[in-house]
A and B are shown apart, each in its own frame.
Chain A
Amino acid sequence: MAEAIALLEVHDVTKSFGAVAAVQGVSFPLYSGEAHALVGENGAGKSTIVKMLAGVHRPDTGTLRVNGADVDFAGPADAKAAGIAVIYQEPTLFPDLSVAENIAMGNQPLTRLRQIDRKAMHANADRLFARLGVHIDPTRPARGLSIADQQLVEIAKALNLPAAENPRNNQMTSEARVLIMDEPTAALSGVEVERLFAVVRSLRDEGAAILFISHRFEEITELCERVTIMRDGKHVATELVADLTVDDMIRRMVGRDLSALFPKQDVTPGEVMLSVENLSREGIFRDISFEVRAGEIVALAGLVGAGRSEVMQAVFGVDPYDSGAVKIRGKRLKPGNPRAAMAAGMALVPEDRRQQGLIMDLSIERNITLPRARKLARLGLLFGGAEKRAAATWAEKLQTKLGKLSDAVGTLSGGNQQKVVLAKWLATAPQLLIVDEPTRGIDVGTKAEVHRLMSSLAADGLAVVMVSSELPEVLGMADRIVVLREGRVAATLTRAEATEESVMYAAMGQEVAA
């Protein structure tokens, strides 16, 4: 395979934004019929590479080569025309348009009068979803899709590059020849990941080149043949996955050895902080009961769509519930009132940090101090000093990589944004912390940081509820695991009872565990 001409080659590419060199002299080849992993910590420059391959950014120096010939993409349309399909980290859908239109945008099937052939467009969407093994109504608007469904639509979109049935396009491009996936699995549950991998493998076997970015090493070893490791914008190594152990990869990524990944300390649980009793919401979840003690970490596990986030949104009061009760230290909490929840010492770190957790255009310090603005204010006015001090303390505690505290949060990398969200809520000194997918899209180093932090917070007497799709994280961190399936509690497992198998069985309803 190695002597073949690369389908797509990154050759000695450099890209800077202002004074920051995001990528410096990186080279690697993507071969036809091969899945290639790109790994590195957050801010290592992976996303910048993706954006150059997608035609969004142009390299400052160095070249991209398709089939050995230099190419220069003036924009995303050029990259698409060259057969490069990209699935971005954050979904990029048009909420007002139908799912089918989202998939077909740019190469809708046309009738003879050059009008859009809706029937063919819907049939095509159905065909793609069938291939992915999911059912999403192609005629519904993209607005309101869950993150997992949005990701599936993105995947269908990527599979739908100009196809052979398009007679207008007499170029060589037929299917997606290069598929680039920037953390496509971050929002997917185990089953959906398996299905995605099956599709990716079949594309690969048909001769496509795959570039796969993920923070989950088990996925990389499962799917990829070759791996390129980056650190601080520089190329560290490109090797066959078979020649490396996971430890090797991690060591090269971070440039140091990592201690145990999931260090939850043992803590004697204290009083019951939160009790959720028979909570129900029509059409969403039913009869949910569990309790959390001080010093405990309780994980809500289950497939995406099982209602985990919805339950926690209702507990926090963002969403209403129909019946049941939420009690903090035995005192009933007013439903549908996040302010009351916050006053009772609750804090929620949401799943979708872009939409719910952060205000992207505001500065880092403003974001961190937002929930506490009233406390920091003197005579109703916010003075810069107090804000800055509070923000600096937390940014340092969480080892956030940032330029200036006054920079907009949107300029930070994904992992650092997540740290800012955490800082924002930890700064309120909560007694009960709800974290929804705390390490989604975060690199190993930061992940261990976040876990260490959660563990030490619990040791200090904080009660933590964690919603997570990552089983190793759930198993490593949680004292107890509440497994949800289709809006109901399928099982409650203690740490001793919980194994990957018992949790997955309960989540998929294949066997009654516990």
Chain B
Amino acid sequence: MTPLALQKPRKPTMNLLKTRELGILLALALLVLYTTINNPRFLSGQSIRDNLLNTAILAVMATGQAIVVITRNIDLSVGSVLGISAWTAATMMSDHQGLPMIVAILVGLAVGAVAGLLNGVLVRYGKVPALVVTLGTLYIYRGITYQWAGGSQVNADKLPAHFLNFANDSLLGIPWLVLIALLVVGGATLVMRNYRVGRELYAMGSSPQAAELAGIKVARNLLGAFVLSGALAGLAGVLFAARFGTVDASAGTGYELNVVAAVVVGGVAVFGGSGTVWGAGLGALLLTVISSALAVLDINQFWQQAIVGALIILAICADRLVAVRIARSLRKRDAHV
């Protein structure tokens, strides 16, 4: 009817976007291959198990962080939340040896959720940028933990056996820790991808102003994202205590940077609106495998930090490149000439 009504072939642009997760898998495969050639024990059952167990805690936290970052915010307090939750769980279990594991988990989730709620309220109603709020609460939560713990620590011999065993017990051959991480990553991926609330969180990060105009319950969703991030950091704290057995007030110090690194390497855009939770999970796996591979390859551990840094920059460059490519392909498709 008009020159504008051109039939355009419908090509799924999503393919281009998916290359990100594929890229991580590819990097992971190359890394494992190279390391295994140099040291075949890298693919032994014990080594794989260690890697997965080490990934689990990071992946749980990366899930919450990814959701917060997708809404164009950040949660830097997660390391401190892990600390306060780990200390709470450890002292509680050493004082009440008979408490079942599930209670520890619920308490950890609750402690984290409260911490996250405070972050969310300050960001939303205090109208302070998340970076500043969570940098503040990073110190506050850590300070509370130090005040509470003093110089003391809870040792493994004071903790009940069932609590410590939880980290090593398995269900159908899969360690509980890994199972929990899979459940968290998988569940969050599904919600973010296929449910209204998930798409609203993407929308909020993509254009905060449009989200308000679209009638999205921005306040509710934002609080939800911070509560979830906090709760998952709290859960990670309990898992941390169970896995390492020895907990003091410094548990999880500096962890927030690993978590943010996993999220960014995993392809979540720092300015929100795009990326996936399972990508962040893969990012956590990649970072963990890199550090263990470096140990196996007998490369100085100090290199690890430089490599993680390079990966973050690479990840952001890759984002930019993909964005430019998409823009170009869209322009070509829309052209009339």
Q: How far is the CA of A286 from the CA of B13 in the complex (A)?
A: 27
Instruction: Name B1's closest neighbour in chain A (CB-CB).
Output: A133
Q: Which of B2-18 contact A (CB under 8 A)?
A: 2-8, 10-14
Q: Is the CB of A105 within 8 A of B200?
A: yes
Q: Which A residues touch B202, using CB under 8 A?
A: 94, 96-97
- Cα–Cα distance between A141 and B329 once the two chains are bound (Å): 12
B210: chain A residues at CB < 8 Å are: 92-94
A192 partner residues in chain B, CB cutoff 8 A: 4
The residue of chain A having its C-beta at the shortest distance from the C-beta of B211 within the complex is A94
Report chain B residues within 8 Å CB of A307.
Answer: 336-337
CB distance from B197 to the nearest CB of A (A): 10
Tell me the nearest residue of chain A to B214, going by C-beta.
A105
A135 & B6 in contact (Cβ 8 Å cutoff): yes
A25 within 8 A of B: no
Contacts A133-B1, A305-B4; is A140 near B203 (CB within 8 Å)?
no
Q: Are the CB atoms of B213 and A92 closer together than 8 Å?
A: yes
In the complex, are the beta carbons of A92 and B209 less than 8 A apart? yes
**B330 contacts across to A, CB distance below 8 A:** 140-141, 144
Residue contact B199 to A191, C-beta cutoff 8 Å: no
Whether A95 sits at the interface, judged by CB under 8 Å, is yes
- Let me know if A106 and B215 touch, CB within 8 A: yes
A8-16, A75-83, A225-233, A420-428: which lies at the interface: A75-83
Chain A residues with CB under 8 Å of B2's CB are: 133, 191, 195, 508
Contacts of B211 in A (CB 8 A): 94
Residues of B near A93 (CB, < 8 A) are: 207, 210
**In the bound complex, how far is the Cα of B186 from the Cα of A408, in angstroms?**
45
B127 within 8 A of A: no
- B216: interface (CB < 8 Å): yes
Within 8 A of B (CB), among A5-59: 54-56
Chain A residues contacting B3 (CB-CB under 8 Å) are: 303, 485-486, 508-509
Q: Please tell me if A116 contacts chain B, counting CB pairs below 8 Å.
A: yes
B-side interface size class: 35 or more
Asked whether A137 is an interface residue with its Cβ less than 8 Å from the other chain, the reply is yes
B206 CB contacts on chain A under 8 angstroms: 94-97
In contact, B331 and A284 (Cβ under 8 angstroms): yes
Query: When each residue 19-33 of chain B gets 1 if its CB lies under 8 Å from chain A and 0 otherwise, what string results?
Result: 000000000000000
* Shortest CB distance B326–A (Å): 7
Number of interface residues of A (CB under 8 A): 53
Interface of chain B residues 285 through 337 with chain A (CB within 8 A): 326-327, 330-332, 334-337
What is the CA–CA distance of A508 and B1 in the complex, to the nearest angstrom? 11
* In contact, A108 and B213 (Cβ under 8 angstroms): no
Q: Is A134 an interface residue (CB 8 A)?
A: yes
Docked Cα-Cα span, A141 to B207, in Å, equals: 13
Q: Which B173-231 residues have a C-beta within 8 angstroms of A?
A: 194-196, 199-200, 202-203, 205-207, 209-217
Closest to A136 in B: B8
Interface string of A154-169 (1 = CB under 8 A from B): 0000000000000000
Q: Across the two chains, which residue of chain B brings its CB closest to A194? A: B2
Complex contact B216–A96 (CB within 8 A):
no
Q: Which of A284, A286, A303 meets B4, CB within 8 Å? A: A303
B274 sits at the interface (CB 8 A): yes
Given the interface contacts A94-B207, A486-B3, does A137 sit within 8 Å of B213 by beta carbon? no
Q: Which of B2, B269, B332 has the most CB of A within 10 A?
A: B2
A508's closest neighbor in chain B, by CB? Answer: B3
B273 contacts the other chain (CB 8 A): yes
Q: Which residues of A contact B196 (CB under 8 A)?
A: 106, 108, 110, 116
Given A135-B5, A141-B326; A88-B213 close (CB under 8 Å): yes
Checking B6, B214, B274 against A96 with a beta-carbon cut-off of 8 angstroms, the contacting residue is: B274
Further 8 A-B residue pairs, CB within 8 A, beyond A76-B215, A92-B213: A76-B212, A101-B203, A105-B199, A115-B194, A116-B196, A133-B1, A137-B8, A137-B10
What is the interface of chain B, defined by CB distance below 8 A to chain A?
1-8, 10-14, 194-196, 199-200, 202-203, 205-207, 209-217, 269, 273-274, 326-327, 330-332, 334-337
Selected A-B contacts with CB under 8 Å, 9 pairs:
A77-B215, A96-B273, A105-B216, A106-B215, A116-B195, A144-B327, A284-B331, A286-B337, A486-B336
The 8 closest A-B pairs by CB, nearest first: A77-B215, A96-B273, A283-B335, A76-B215, A92-B210, A94-B206, A96-B206, A486-B336
